Amino acid sequence: MDYMANMNWMGLLSLLVSAAAALVCITFHELSHGYVAYRLGDPTARQMGRLSLNPIKHLDPIGFLMMIFAGVGWAKPVPVDMRYFKNPKRGIAITALAGPVSNFLMAIVTMLICSLVYRLLLPTDSMVLLVVFYFLCNVAILSVGLGLFNLIPISPLDGSKVLFSFLPDRVYYTILRYERYIMIAVIALVFFNVLDGPLSFCINGVLQFLCRVTGLPWEALVVGSQILDFLG
């Protein structure tokens, strides 16, 4: 009973809502990859059950934890077979770009809803609205973070697929063979916060721009993304 009485329930709620926000972001990111690949002629993602809104199918445990605690991360890559594309390099580039684009679109839609919830929240002290607002703010921030992180032109991140599509075929396919090893270096860069400064600067810049576009006050987004932590 003492343990239950001293439990930080607000902190637990904050962690659960943040985890839910991260799951939403990675699910739509990977689903977008698979759907665009499918529309371009590659049935691989569909055959392997990756055209799904079930977040468990897209979950990479390390990338998921990094999203919650570091603000950037990754999901389990959607399988893509470029042999199905009429133009393999272009098909891969478009498929790769679909993930970050979906995150930016999600951020815009979420912040528009945030703006509405914020106006409903001002005259009330509804706990339900506070949790919803916290969730939406975190979805918006994590979406922008995930989108920008994946645009970094380091293999196997999405940005590299777009950039490398302009390289000669011999160089392009050589890089693809070593993707898994390069990913270890990317994980190290995130773990040791090497990318933290530049990414934070870019994320804040994009979020401030989207705040102006959607009419959501910047201060409301910042406070909203931490409000449950304050209450805890």
Taking the C-alpha atoms of residue 7 and residue 114, their distance in angstroms, rounded to an integer, is: 30
List Cβ neighbours of 160 (8 Å cut-off, separation of 6 or more). Answer: 96, 152, 153, 154, 175
Please name which of 14, 7, 74 lies closest in space to residue 231, comparing C-alpha atoms. 14
Rounded to 5°, angle at Cα 141 from 212 and 182:
125
Degrees to nearest 5, angle at CA 219 with 216 and 221? 55
Which candidate in 30, 71, 80, 146 is catalytic? 30
Element (DSSP H or E) covering residue 200? helix 196-214
Sign of the torsion formed by the C-alpha atoms of 49, 140, 164 and 90: positive
179 is catalytic: no
Residues 144, 107: Cα–Cα separation, whole Å: 6
Distance CA 35, CA 224 (A): 32
- Calculate the CA 152 to chain-centre distance: 13
User: Mind telling me the catalytic residues?
Assistant: 30
